[in-house]
Amino acid sequence: MATHKVGGEVDAFCTRCKLTLAHTILAMVGTKIARVRCNTCMGEHAYRSAPGSTDRPSASSSRSTSSSRATSASRAEKPEKVVISFEQQLAGKDIANAPKYSPKDTYQVDQVIQHPTFGLGLVTAVRGDKVDITFKSETKTLVHGRGGAPAERPTFHPPSARATGPADKPVPPSTTEADPSSSPTSTPPAEE
Ligand SMILES: [Zn+2]
């Protein structure tokens, strides 16, 4: 390891020139260079070894870390609002085919309707013969299903319905004899 001495030259990082330049050693502490003078700008400053050798960029990195932390903290102070606007609620809905509201019709949740007074509305709840419809400015509770139609039980299918249709083979549901599924390899008794 080369030994430096006061008055000698050493390559050091000049804080003014922002370059690694030849410096004259002005002071030493033990075997370490303490103070140097830049041979280019003649500025005197504490000795800094050339970047990349022993100069650690810890100062700059810690500064960037703190700044990024401040950014995230400020972001946490302002959580994004998750309020969905009325337009966003209607986005993706079939607005073009929104039916006109009529108390005689029956509506379902998420259905878009067109009200003559309140405009476009989104059905948010159905309670019996009442529906909550969110309009742009307010939410209204309106009636529906007053048409006298089978709106009472729209999803009720009587089990006898399939027995009435002769479209398929009239297989009695309780018959267990002559089940073709018990012998799948044999030719089923087709009636075609
Ligand atoms: Zn310099």
CA of 58 to the centre of ligand 1 (A): 23
pLDDT single digits (tens) 146-161 = 886 554 445 555 665 4
Question: What pLDDT sits at residue 57?
Answer: 45
CA of 16 to the centre of ligand 1 (A): 5
Question: What pLDDT sits at residue 91?
Answer: 85
For 99, the token pair is 């039916």
CA of 57 to the centre of ligand 1 (A): 20
CA of 1 to the centre of ligand 1 (A): 25
Q: Are residues 27 and 49 in the same domain?
A: yes
Residues of the domain holding 49: 1-80
CATH of the domain at 93: 2.30.30
DSSP class of 19: E
Which of residues 99, 116, 143 is at a domain's end?
143
Question: What pLDDT sits at residue 186?
Answer: 55
Question: What pLDDT sits at residue 62?
Answer: 45
Distance CA 69, CA 13 (A): 30
What three-state secondary structure class fits 163?
helix
Question: What pLDDT sits at residue 190?
Answer: 59
Q: Half-sphere exposure of residue 131, counting CA atoms within 13 Å on the CB side?
A: 25
> Full-prediction pTM beyond 0.75?
no
Q: Are residues 20 and 65 in the same domain?
A: yes
For 70, the token pair is 């401040």
DSSP class of 179: -
Question: What pLDDT sits at residue 184?
Answer: 53
CA of 40 to the centre of ligand 1 (A): 5
102 domain-assigned: yes
Question: What pLDDT sits at residue 34?
Answer: 94
Q: Name the domain count of the chain.
A: 2
The residues with which 113 forms a beta bridge, in sequence order, are 121
pLDDT value at 64 more than 50: no
pLDDT value at 175 more than 60: no
Q: Which of the residue ranges 132-136, 142-146, 156-160 would you say has the lowest mean pLDDT? A: 156-160
pLDDT single digits (tens) 92-109 = 888 888 999 999 999 999
CA of 30 to the centre of ligand 1 (A): 24
Choose the most confident range, by mean pLDDT, from 65-69, 85-89, 102-106, 167-171.
102-106
Long-range contacts of 141-145 (CB under 8 A, 24+ apart): 142/101, 142/103, 142/115, 143/103, 144/103, 144/104, 144/105, 144/106, 144/107, 145/104, 145/105, 145/106
120 domain-assigned: yes
